Structure 1
Amino acid sequence: MEQEIAKIAERWDAFLIKIENRFHEIVNEANAALPALLLVENFDTTAFGVAYQGIETQLKELISKISDTYQEKVTPALEEIQEREEAAVEDREGSLDEFYARFYPLYEREQNKGLTLQHQLDRELRIAGIRVPAAAAHLLHDEARKALAKTFQCTQCQAPLPLRNNFFRSYYQTCDYCQTVNTFEPGTIARNVEHYALHALAEEAAFEEALAYYDMELKYRSQRDDESPVLSKEELLQCYTAYAEKYLKARIEIIPDYANQYESDLASRIEHVRKWTLGEHGLDFSIPSNEERSR
Structure 2
Amino acid sequence: MFGLFDKKYHNPELLEMIGQAQERWFAFLDKLENRMHEMCTAAVPEIREVFNQDTDPYKRAHGHMLMGLHGQINQMRQKANKTKEESIFYFIDRATTQLPDFISSAGREYHDKLRIFRLDCINRHNIFEEKIAWYTLMLNNAAGEQDLETFYREQLAAFEDIRNKFTCKQCGGNIAIAKIFFIATYITCPFCQTQNTFTPSTGAQMVLHQARSLAEQRTAHLLKAYEASKPKNSQLYQQYLRSMFDEWNKIVPDMATENEKFYQRMLHDHTNSINHY
CA distance in 2, matches of 1:123, 1:60: 11
1:105 to 115, 128, 138: 115
CA distance in 2, matches of 1:214, 1:265: 28
Structure-2 residue corresponding to 1:53: 67
Structure-1 residue corresponding to 2:216: 203
Aligned residues: 222
Change (3 A) 1:134 1:191: farther
CA offsets per residue over residues 169-204 of structure 1, 9 Å max, x none? 4736xxxxxxxxxxxx9854x356434344434422
- Asked if the contact 1:130–1:200 (Cα under 8 Å) also holds between the matched residues in 2, the reply is no
- Asked if the contact 1:131–1:204 (Cα under 8 Å) also holds between the matched residues in 2, the reply is no
CA offsets per residue over residues 84-141 of structure 1, 9 Å max, x none? x949x99xx9788525423322431443144313431453366357535873x559x9
Structure-1 residue corresponding to 2:272: 284
Change (3 A) 1:105 1:113: same
Secondary structure in 1 matching 2:273: coil
Secondary structure in 2 matching 1:37: helix
Structure-1 residue corresponding to 2:134: 124
TM-score, normalization by structure 2: 0.56
Unaligned runs of 5+ in 2: 1-11, 163-198
1:70 to 78, 81, 84: 84
Change (3 A) 1:204 1:28: farther
CA distance in 2, matches of 1:21, 1:211: 24
- Asked if the contact 1:19–1:62 (Cα under 8 Å) also holds between the matched residues in 2, the reply is yes
CA offsets per residue over residues 54-113 of structure 1, 9 Å max, x none? 111100111122122234445566778x49x949x99xx978852542332243144314
Within-5 A mapping of 1:130-149: 131-132=141-142, 135=145, 137=146
TM-score, normalization by structure 1: 0.53
Alignment RMSD (CA, Å): 4.7
Q: Does 1:171 align with 2:184?
A: no
Change (3 A) 1:192 1:132: farther
Structure-1 residue corresponding to 2:178: none
Percent same amino acid at aligned positions?
A: 16
